[in-house]
């Protein structure tokens, strides 16, 4: 919690977190390909591309920790995803290893498990079910985190962020929304908790939806302050049958043939009736 780098430092989530981080850290280095705005006296900007391994090594020089938010934030074709979300995450960890940066908070996503039915309660220990190439890239990032702990002792908290918008705008969003101050609470746990090796938690505020059960986050001390439905501002959103069935919502629609298929924890076919 002294010198912290943030990849994707010009983005919306980084902008939300900076206000909470500034009073608690010595310096924040914001890394992005576009300039970060309204720098405080203890903030600096580093222009660098995640796909550039050399730039990442320079960017993390002297940093104690890194909050890895950078990358494409939604679904793209695989040739666009590879240099940023795949190679970029690897480059961040290699740069951390080279610089002795021993803590990472990785912005994973609910889309790592988006193909679970909404009627099923899951935990971070359930097998990933990514709903997109974007979700696949987040599964890769979680695996990279485990690899670099085992190889180099870099500790990571991967946060499967639900909906980090300014407010939940649908019932789906209300099931998984996380406020800025609750997300900061998880980030701070990731940067400071002594027992974290390569842990995965869900990032959500208080909700009664029942999609996720996260005993590990509670064990680590996470106590969400905001209740999602207090902030709900519904907007007209039409979901396809596929989007409405799965936790990933509209992300599940792209390239989907419209047939809802289900499998159990052993990878065997199960009836849709089992999830009604």
CA 197 centroid distance within chain: 17
3-state secondary structure of 156: strand
CB 31 within 8 A of CB 48: yes
**Catalytically annotated residue among 93, 134, 149, 222:** 134
**pLDDT tens digits, 243-268:** 999 999 999 999 999 999 999 989 99
Does residue 275 surpass a pLDDT of 90? no
* 3-275 is a CATH 3.40.50.720 domain: yes
Does residue 202 surpass a pLDDT of 70? yes
Q: Exposed/middle/buried for 122, CB within 10 Å: 0-12, 13-18, 19+? A: middle
Phi, psi (deg, nearest 5) at residue 237 = -130, 125
Q: What is the pTM of this model?
A: 0.97
Of residues 137, 155, 130, the one with CA closest to residue 145? 155
3-state secondary structure of 126: coil
Catalytic site includes residue 167: no
**pLDDT tens digits, 148-196:** 999 999 999 999 999 999 999 999 999 999 999 999 999 999 999 999 9
Q: Rounded distance, CA 97 to CA 153, Å?
A: 9
pLDDT band at 272 (very low <50, low <70, confident <90, very high): confident
Give the full edge-to-edge strand order of the sheet including 65-68: 43-47, 27-32, 3-7, 65-68, 103-109, 155-161, 198-203
């Amino acid at each position: 919690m002294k010198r912290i780098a943030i990849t994707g430092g010009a983005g919306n989530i980084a902008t939300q977190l900076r206000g909470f981080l500034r009073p608690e850290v010595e310096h924040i280095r914001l890394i992005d390909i576009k300039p970060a705005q309204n720098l405080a006296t203890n903030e600096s900007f580093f222009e660098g591309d995640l796909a550039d391994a050399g730039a990442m090594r320079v960017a993390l020089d002297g940093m104690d920790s890194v909050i890895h938010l950078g990358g494409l934030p939604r679904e793209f074709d695989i040739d666009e995803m590879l240099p940023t979300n795949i190679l970029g995450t690897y480059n961040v960890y290699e740069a951390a290893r080279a610089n002795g940066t021993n803590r990472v908070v990785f912005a994973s996503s609910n889309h790592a498990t988006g193909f679970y039915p909404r009627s099923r309660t899951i935990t971070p220990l359930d097998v990933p079910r990514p709903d997109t190439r974007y979700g696949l890239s987040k599964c890769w990032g979680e695996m990279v985190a485990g690899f670099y702990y085992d190889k180099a002792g870099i500790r990571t908290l991967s946060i499967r962020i639900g909906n980090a918008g300014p407010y939940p705008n649908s019932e789906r969003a209300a099931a998984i929304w996380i406020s800025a101050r609750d997300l900061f609470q998880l980030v701070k746990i990731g940067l400071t908790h002594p027992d974290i090796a390569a842990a995965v938690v869900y990032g959500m505020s208080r909700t009664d939806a029942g999609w996720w059960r996260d005993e590990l986050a509670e064990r680590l001390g996470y106590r969400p302050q905001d209740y999602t439905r207090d902030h709900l501002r519904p907007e007209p959103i039409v979901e396809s049958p596929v989007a409405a069935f799965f936790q990933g919502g509209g992300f599940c629609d792209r390239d989907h043939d419209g047939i809802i298929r289900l499998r159990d924890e052993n990878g065997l076919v199960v009836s849709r009736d089992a999830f009604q």
